Amino acid sequence: MGWFDSVEHNRWLSAQMRALLDEARAAIVPTGFAHVTSDGGADPDRPVELAVTARMTYVFSLGALMGIPGCRGVADHGVRSLIRCFGDPDNGGWFTAIRPVPGKDGHGIPWDEDGQCKSQFHISFLILAASAATVADRPDAHELLAAALHDQERHWLEECGLVTDLRSPDLAVAADRHTMDSLVHTAEAYLSAAEATTDPVWVERAEVISRFVWERARADEWRLPEYYDSQWRPTSGESEPFIDGRCVYAGHVIGHSLQWSRLALHIRAALRSMGRPQPDYLMEMARELFERARVDGWRRSDGIPGFALTVDDGGEVLVAERRQWVVCEGVCTATSLRRGLLDDGVEVGEVEHFEHCYRSWIDHINDDFIERPGRWYRVLDAQNHPIRPAAPIRSDIYHAIQAMLMPRVPLWPPFASAISRGLLDHPEQPAADRRSWTFFHRR
């Protein structure tokens, strides 16, 4: 019996997931969810970020759907914060970073001038959170999702089908560069929105983005450039920091290749669920990105388990430190490739490669990242020594929760809808399932 068929393994996954949720409650502040200190308390010296609050709202919405006590109220706090505290009452859209205590009128106060900017990276998580909260039937979540999707069509979708990355506080001026991290999280958010709204146009938009990524990756030996200019031509991206708090990566990001491998399979399964053709490039993209990321990134430091963070154009390691989110995406992607091939009818013996990767990467998480249930190290050095103390992982928790859930759900529908439809622990559910789609003419 393999791990995927083991009741005890599923119990381990479930226990780790519930411990993460238990620890994450410590991040609650009046305006959303804060970063936390090494002792687990809310950090008053760092801004309350839109992406962090949205990710926490998302995972607690999943917890509410699974019937984990205490998650409903936390998810509701997240939805209220996203609407009341992050919403910009003057210009529209959502602030990127605010203070932990609201103003006298109840609205959030931007952390600083940069906190007033509008960021697609952050808003993509707002859409993800609102989609899951809508499926979980949390108060005001549907209205939040509708507002966020209207905002996408008005301010962020470009004529080419890709998305703008940053806008000025009044939404009038767009930045002249684009990023892969915005693309990957936007596509994931669109898939969740498609199921939550029963509107397949969001699958179509995710597929348009994925086709660009496939063309770009194929032209670069299946490595993904991280930064692009206003015309979507690759650039180094290292000239200046991002005003929305994101780090600037040097080289090709292993974790983003793994994420796109997984998303290609989700898009493929979504198209199948609608009875539509699945372009051959999606499986090619999934397999090639996975193998390139595995070869470039895994065990590159003296054979020690772990993924390098970035590599150069030739596959040489640039940043060797291990990030928790990267191995979590590896777990999700190995699981997804195994599932996608099984859904296509291959024999179990033909997916042993992906099962081996899964076992190795879960062991790495258990042996090196988990200090204790609920407390994971966020960053390790190349020898797997912690760079900073373990703490509830706030901004990374959605990667960890999805890694603990991915082996237990099918490729489609997305996590929230799969749980709501009773598919948890039934990953073999056929992808061809049209129950959720309502086709209609868009006005």
Supply the residues annotated as catalytic. Answer: 256, 399
Sign of the CA dihedral with 379 first, then 383, 386, and 388 last: negative
List Cα–Cα distances, 181 to 219, 246, 325, 404, in angstroms.
19, 10, 13, 22
Q: CA of 434: how far to CAs of 328, 413, 431, in Å?
A: 30, 10, 9
Closest Cα to residue 437, out of 320, 273, 292? 273
- Tell me the two tokens of residue 97: 């970073």
362-396 as b/e: b if 16+ CB within 10 A: bebbeebbbeeebbbbbebebebeeeeebbbbbbb
Q: Indicate the pairing of strand 97-98 with strand 118-119.
A: unpaired
Q: What are the b/e assignments for 217-246, b being 16+ CB within 10 Å?
A: beeeebbbbbbbeeeeebeebeeeebbbbb
Q: What 3-state class would DSSP assign to 178? A: strand
How long a stretch of residues is the chain? Answer: 443
How many CB atoms are closer than 10 A to CB 134? 25
* Beta strands in 46-205, from DSSP E residues, in sequence order: 48-49, 97-98, 118-119, 166-167, 177-179
Bridge-partner residues for 310, per DSSP?
253, 319
How far is Cα 382 from Cα 189, in angstroms, rounded to an integer?
32
